Chains A and B, each alone.
Chain A
């Protein structure tokens, strides 16, 4: 993995690293709080042999002391000494607990023993340290005294008396939290990089082009407004501009035989397919084209819902011959946009959509429109769209950035190839505006297109409850006639065709 890729992974998944940092710090802090404060009193013992006259004696005595130091360090933390301390102080602790508070270290080549006593109570740490200072030399004296020698051959004396118990500086908790945070950060970063390495989703236009065998003709950023409202409310927004660019790109796909009947599909559901159809159609209609959306995802029709239109009659009626296009086509806004809803759900959508009647219908629509956008079911879960793909001029594949996997996209492209359909291009949808890809494509987009403006959510109809029956049954207070995408129903469109007002 290149350093640049690592950096990109960390930037893309920066939240993971930050979460790791915070979790690490919190855990370390919690542990520190649970353990409570600690106070440490230290002292130093010096081990020497009894005075003797000759140099050789002194040398041997020194050797002897060196050998003894290691054993004495063991004694300091042993049960015997702990028992003596407990007895002398009348502590309510077991010798084991006291022994756990004592730490002894020696440095090879010296006759010094460093001893520290750590306790959550400052006063008790000092008392134990003082008792240890008394009891340890006495214990050594007791052990080293043998019946055949007078006095002890070894002396244990203070090199440094037990000091006042002090809290460590910087406090232990701070040190723990810093360590915990660092550890968490490292772990989070490792997870980010790992997930990026394991990620099989499509995130790069180059990958998408290679796998789908068609160019990426549009990139649309993730937009909260689209997620909630599905249509762009403000014509000057960045997303609206991206759809305008996509609409423009369509015209240059094939200048010899410009595709007019275009199926829009995706590999799997929830790839932003219908949102793309609706907004692309609006962009095309705004550019002056006559556009008809055909809602051909018969199992989960969403176009009518997204545009707040009338459901119940549509494509399936046209195919069955129980209605004409003029009966069921719904005009949206004042431009050239019409929608043909799905109609009643048939028992076998796949056969219906692949029928020659469908080809006849699309041919008729081709004659009446500049563009016919067919919103089709996703390609992999059901076969509905494969038969349909054979009747259209070409297919646009919606790919959800970071969600559609390379395998899924490849399979979808092969499915289209299998029925002889042309994949016109790929639209990379829901691209995170913070990522590398966004940075590469955002050039100039933020400039002058309502940059910095806050989305102004349309007021939702507030259901008014029946007086005295709050919550029992909800009724809308006022119909919200104006909860309409702004660019669709601008004031100049407010007068419907055929409506001629009096007096003006």
Chain B
């Protein structure tokens, strides 16, 4: 529980509140994107999601499921899970929807500070000048972990703000759910592109796939 296992696949943990809207959508879209970008190497990485106050066992929220279907994803068979200390500590990269979720994750796994970002923070860090790095090394998972380390180091050049949050669409109508879905995808695509590039040992630009859109 002290950290990610050295020989396991690279684990991306997505965290929101109920684990029925934002994080499941990100999980399903992300799984699909990585499968397309990595092909046969997709097994190098696993994407999971959990909620800080999960509606344990619930399916995806109908509105989010609809948005996910519109984006080309499949909401079937999803079951919401509660975030545990072990999940927080064991993930190689934790992407939360808001800074409050990040705070919560760090409460469970204080050593994970340099591996835990909000989703939009992660995208912003990779967008900083000089972040387009080529990581070397023989092991794909180690290259991906090195990418996370450079992201954490880049924090010193970037101030956090309310813009790092993707807010909760629960209780809002379909338009809001769609907007939230698009925000999640817009931030997730560049992060996974960099991750896939690191895992495959290639440039992020050559891995780009068309981002799903409405």
Chain A CB within 8 A of B5 CB: no
* B124–chain A nearest beta-carbon distance, Å: 5
Contact with A along B166-202 (1 / 0, CB 8 A): 1101001101100110010000000000000000000
Stretch at the interface among B23-31, B53-61, B106-114: B106-114
- Cross-chain contact A310 with B155 (CB below 8 angstroms): yes
Question: How far, in whole Å, are A317 and B108 apart by their CA atoms in the complex?
Answer: 11
* B211–chain A nearest beta-carbon distance, Å: 17
Question: How far, in whole Å, are A469 and B174 apart by their CA atoms in the complex?
Answer: 11
- Cross-chain contact B103 with A312 (CB below 8 angstroms): yes
Contact with B along A342-366 (1 / 0, CB 8 A): 0110000000000000000000000
Most buried by B among A309, A310, A344, A469: A310
Stretch at the interface among B6-14, B39-47, B67-75, B125-133: B125-133
Contact with B along A308-339 (1 / 0, CB 8 A): 11111110010000111001101111100000
Chain A CB within 8 A of B165 CB: yes
- Cross-chain contact B128 with A344 (CB below 8 angstroms): no
Contact residues in B for A7 (Cβ distance below 8 Å): none
How many pairs of residues, A versus B, come closer than 8 Å at their CB atoms? 153
Contact residues in B for A323 (Cβ distance below 8 Å): 110-111, 113
Chain A CB within 8 A of B36 CB: no
- Cross-chain contact A494 with B113 (CB below 8 angstroms): no
SS class of chain A's interface: helix, strand, loop or mixed? Answer: loop
- Cross-chain contact A313 with B157 (CB below 8 angstroms): no
Contact residues in B for A463 (Cβ distance below 8 Å): 162
Q: What bracket does the count of chain B residues touching chain A fall in?
A: 35 or more
Contact with B along A124-162 (1 / 0, CB 8 A): 000000000000000000000000000000000000000
Stretch at the interface among A24-32, A52-60, A496-504: A496-504
Contact residues in B for A313 (Cβ distance below 8 Å): 106-107, 110-113
Chain B CB within 8 A of A234 CB: no
CB closest residue in chain A, given B103: A312
Chain B CB within 8 A of A480 CB: yes
CB closest residue in chain A, given B118: A310
Q: What bracket does the count of chain A residues touching chain B fall in?
A: 35 or more
Within 8 A of B (CB), among A472-500: 472-481, 483-485, 489, 493-500
* A14–chain B nearest beta-carbon distance, Å: 39
From known contacts A475-B183, A479-B161, A493-B157, infer whether A469 and B175 are also in contact, taking CB-CB under 8 Å.
yes
Chain A CB within 8 A of B37 CB: no
Chain B CB within 8 A of A367 CB: no
Contact residues in A for B130 (Cβ distance below 8 Å): 494-496, 499-501
- Cross-chain contact A473 with B176 (CB below 8 angstroms): yes
Contact residues in A for B180 (Cβ distance below 8 Å): 475
- Cross-chain contact A310 with B160 (CB below 8 angstroms): yes
Question: How far, in whole Å, are A334 and B127 apart by their CA atoms in the complex?
Answer: 18
Question: How far, in whole Å, are A500 and B110 apart by their CA atoms in the complex?
Answer: 28
* A386–chain B nearest beta-carbon distance, Å: 27
CB closest residue in chain A, given B135: A500
Contact residues in A for B103 (Cβ distance below 8 Å): 311-312
Contact residues in B for A469 (Cβ distance below 8 Å): 172-173, 175-176
Chain B CB within 8 A of A93 CB: no
- Cross-chain contact A478 with B133 (CB below 8 angstroms): no
Question: How far, in whole Å, are A247 and B51 apart by their CA atoms in the complex?
Answer: 45
Contact residues in A for B107 (Cβ distance below 8 Å): 312-313, 344
Chain A CB within 8 A of B154 CB: yes
Contact residues in A for B105 (Cβ distance below 8 Å): 312
Give the interface of B toward A (CB within 8 A).
99, 102-107, 110-114, 116, 120-121, 123-124, 127-134, 149-150, 153-167, 169, 172-173, 175-176, 179-180, 183
Query: What are some 10 contacts across the A-B interface (CB < 8 A)?
Result: A312-B103, A312-B113, A313-B106, A322-B111, A476-B161, A489-B159, A494-B129, A496-B154, A499-B133, A500-B133
